[in-house]
Chain A
Amino acid sequence: MIAAFITIACVLATMLAPWIAPFNPFDPTQISLWDGKLPPSWIEGGQAQYILGTDNQGRDMLSTILYGGRLSIIVGIAAVCLGMALGVILGVISGYFGGAVDAIIMRIADIQLTIPGILLAILINGIGRTLLPLEMREDFAIYVVIFAIGLTDWPQFARVTRGATLVESQKEYVQAARVIGLPRWLIIVRHILPNVMRPVLVIATIGLALAIISEATLSFLGQGIPPTTPSLGTLIRVGNEYLFSGLWWITLFPAAALVVLVFAVNLLGDWMRDALNPKLR
C-alpha cells in the first residue's frame, strides 16, 4: 500500500511537473546564470526559491528533477508498452496457431531471455544510434532508447501470453465460438485477450522498474537522453562532474530520486503480483 502510494505520488508529481514545478528548466529565458551552483535552501548560501539548490547553469534542481523524472517515467512506460504490445501479439499468435510459428517465436524468446536485458538494450541502442546520421542522433535519441528497451523485454510477455492463450483456447466456450464460425481475430480479442491481461499487467509493473533503470544506465553512459532535455540518468551523469567539488546536491538528489522511484515501482510490482495473481508466486 505504501509502495502504491509512493509510486502514485511520484508519478503524479512528475506528470504534473509543468504545473507544480517552481520553474521550467527548459525555458532558457527563465534561467539566470547568476543563480548557478546555489546549495539547497537550508544550507548557508541557499535561496528560499530554490529548495534543492541549483545546478551549474542556474536551473532549479527540484524542477529539473521533476521534469527529468517525468521523462524517465514516460520513456519507461513507453518502452514497456512497446514490449508488451510486441510480446502479447507474438504470444497470442504463438499460442493460438502453434506449430512452426510457435516454435520459431518461442525459440527466439528463449535465446533472448538468456542475454541480460541491459546488455541487449545497450547493443540495440548502439546499433540504433549508429544507423542515424550524427545530426539526427539527439533529436531521435528518446525514440531509439524506447525502441531498444522495448525490444529487450518482449519475451516475458510473449511467454505468459502464450501460456494463457493455450489454456484459454482449450476451454469450452472458445471451442464453441470456433464451431459457430466466429472469425479468429474476434475470438482472440473478445475471449482470449481479456484473460491474458492480468498476468501481463503484473509483468509490466516489474518491467517498468527495469526499464527505468535501463534508461538511466543508457543515459548515464552518454548513450541515451541528451542533456538538452535531461532524464534522471542524464542529470546524474552531468552532475557527477561536480560531486568531488562539494556541489553534491547536483548529482545526489537526482540519484536519490531515481533510487526511490525504482524502489517504489519494484514494491508496487511485488504488491500487484500478490494482489492480482497469487498463482504466480
Chain B
Amino acid sequence: MKLRKFIPFFAVALAATTSQALAENTLRWTSQGDALTLDPHSQNEGPTLATNGMMYESLVTRDSALTLQPELAVSWEPMDGNIWRFNLRQGVKFQGGEDFTAEDVAFSIERAKHEKSDFKEQIKSIVEVKIVDDHTIDFITDAINPILPNQLTSFYIMDKGWSEANNIVTPQDFAGEEETFAVRNTNGTGPFKLVSRAPDELTVLEKNPDWWGAGQFPGNIDRIEYRPIGNAATRVAALLSNEVDFILDPPLQDLKRIDAADGLKTQTTPQIRTIFFGMDQGIEELRTSNVKGANPFADVRVREAMNLAIDRKAIQRVVMEGLSFPAGMITSPGVLGSTPEQDAEIPLDVAKAQALMADAGYADGFSVQLDCPNNRYINDEKICQAAVSMLAKIGIDIKLDAIPKAQHFPKIQKRTSDFYMLGWGVPTLDSHYVFSYLLDAEGSWNAVGYNNELVNSITKGIASETDLEKRTAMIDEAWSQVRKDMPYIPIHHQVIAWGMADNVDTPMSADDALRPRFITMK
C-alpha cells in the first residue's frame, strides 16, 4: 500500500548508511538456545560448555582439530602408583585478580565431585588430590587411568576464594531449579570476561586484556555479543540482513540461500554427536502408556521393531537435507570404539517390525509420549515428528511433547520420561565416556534403565585398561552386546553447518563449539 512511496526513499537513505564501521572487532553471533547456566560444573551440555569455555579454562583443552593442548597445565605425565602429575601454568590470574594456584584446582575437583555436579562421572576415578607445591598437583586415581587428561578437557577451574566468598562452593542444582551466584557471574582465567548476562536474551563478553595467552593465538575479537534466536527463520534472516556475523545452527534448508547471498558463506564438517531415542525399559509400567501392568519397552522385540521401523534415510534426505550420517550406534566416527560394522545402519523393514510387534503381543500397538527438545539439536522437533509417523506404521500411537531444552533435560535427569530424544557428543574421543554416562547401570544419563552385566563390567574394565589393542577389543565386545539389546534407537550423526559473514574467519571443530581465540575478523 504505502510501501510504494517508501521504497525509493529507503533506497537512497540506506545506501548512504550501511552499517557503521566499529572501532573494535565485535563478533555478534546467534544460535537457537542459550547456555543453560554459567555455573561451570552444573550442566555438561555442548552450548553451555562452549560459552563457559570462553571465560573459564581447564587444565587440558582441545584445539579446533580436537587434539589435546595445554591450557592451565603446561605439562602432565603419569607417575608410578596410579598418579597423574600436572604442572600448572605460572603467573596466571583470575579475572577478579586472584592468583591461580594448585589450591584452586583441588577446590574445583572437590566441587565437581559434588553430587549435584554433572561432571562427576568424568572425574570419578580421582580418589585423592595432592598439592605438591603451588604449581604442581598430583591426582591419585582408583586404578590406572590412561585417559584422565582426555576426561579433563571440559572440567573448568574456579577460584577457591571467590567461590567461598560468594557461597557457591557447591554446583547449582539445575534439575531442582536452584539459583546461585555462579549462575549469572563468572570469574575464570580465560580470554573473555562477562560484561552482562540476560539469559535467553543477550550475553556480552569482552576481551580479558590480562589473559596469559594474549598474543599467542590468532584471534582478534575484542567483544562478543550473543543473542539466541529460537525461531529458525528469524535467525537466518538476522544473518542475511547483517545483524549478526555468525550463526551456529543455520536451518539446513537455508544453506544454499546463505551461500548465494553476497558477503556470506557457510562451512560444514561432520560432528562428533549422535542423535538417538531412549526407551525406558527398566521400570515396571510406563507412565504415559495405555499398557498397564507391563512395560512394552522391556521386551527386546519391541525395541528391535522400533529400530526397524525408523526410516533413517528419509530423515537424512528430507529432514536433514542430506546433512547427516545415518547411525547404527550412539557414538560417532572418530571416537575410539566406532567401527563401520558397529555403526552399520539398521535397515528399514516395516514388515519384520510389524511381525516382531505381534510376536511381543502388541499387534494392536500401544500409546506412549515422546519427549523432545525443540531448541537443542539440528531439527530436533522435526526428527521427532517424522519418527511419530514412522512408528505409527507399526501401531505405536505417540503423543509428541516438544519443549525447550531447559525443561526437557531435567525430565531425563530425574528419569521421569518414558521415551525421549537425546544427543551425545564425546569430548574424550573414547567410548568409555559413552558407556559411563549412557550404558552403565549407574550412569547418570542412563535414563532407560539399561542394566547388562557384561557392559557394566567392561565399563569398569576399560577405565583402567592401558593396552590399546585389548581396550579396543573390550569396547567392541560391549558395543556388540548393546547392538543386540538395542536399549536406544540411534538416528544419525550430526553434520555441523555454520553460516557467517565473509569477514569472519574461523576453523571448524567437530564438537560444534565456537573457539573465539582462533577467530579473526577483517
Contacts and interface: CB of A to CB of B under 8 A. Distances in A.
* A and B interact physically: yes
Interface of A: 27-29, 31-34, 36-37, 56-58, 134-135, 138, 228, 240-247
B433 to A, nearest CB: 32
Contact of A241 (B233, B386, B390): B233
Interface string B210-237: 0000000000000000000001110011
Contacts of A27: 392
Contacts of A243: 233
B112 to A, nearest CB: 31
A244 B257 contact: yes
Contacts of B314: 32-34
B389 A31 contact: yes
Nearest to A237: B231
A29 B254 CA distance: 29
B415 to A, nearest CB: 17
A29 B400 CA distance: 15
A230 B257 CA distance: 28
Contacts of A246: 253, 256-257
Contact of A245 (B254, B315, B388, B401): B254
Contacts of B315: 33
A34 B317 contact: yes
Contact of B254 (A31, A37, A138, A244): A244
- Interface of A (DSSP majority class): loop
Contacts of B116: none
9 closest A-B pairs by CB:
A28-B392, A28-B389, A36-B318, A245-B253, A33-B314, A31-B389, A245-B254, A241-B233, A241-B232
Contact of B240 (A228, A244, A247): A244
A240 B257 CA distance: 15
Contacts of B382: 56-57
A34 B370 CA distance: 22
Contact of A244 (B237, B398, B400): B237
A247 B318 contact: no
Give the size range of B's interface with the partner. Answer: 20 to 34
A247 B253 contact: yes
Interface string B398-442: 111101000100000000000000000000000000000000000
Interface string B485-513: 00000000000000000000000000000
Given A57-B386, A228-B400, A34 B233 contact: no
B319 A56 contact: yes
Contact of A33 (B253, B389, B398): B389
A222 to B, nearest CB: 9
Given A29-B389, A33-B311, A36-B319, 13 more contacts: A28-B389, A29-B393, A33-B314, A33-B315, A36-B318, A56-B382, A57-B389, A135-B401, A228-B400, A241-B251, A244-B254, A246-B256, A246-B257
A147 to B, nearest CB: 23
A54 to B, nearest CB: 10
B95 to A, nearest CB: 38
Contacts of B399: 228
Contacts of B233: 240-244
A118 B256 CA distance: 38
A56 B252 CA distance: 12
26 contacts: A28-B392, A29-B389, A29-B392, A31-B389, A33-B311, A33-B319, A33-B389, A33-B390, A34-B314, A37-B318, A57-B386, A58-B318, A58-B389, A134-B403, A138-B401, A240-B231, A241-B232, A242-B253, A244-B233, A244-B236, A244-B240, A245-B236, A245-B251, A245-B254, A245-B257, A247-B253
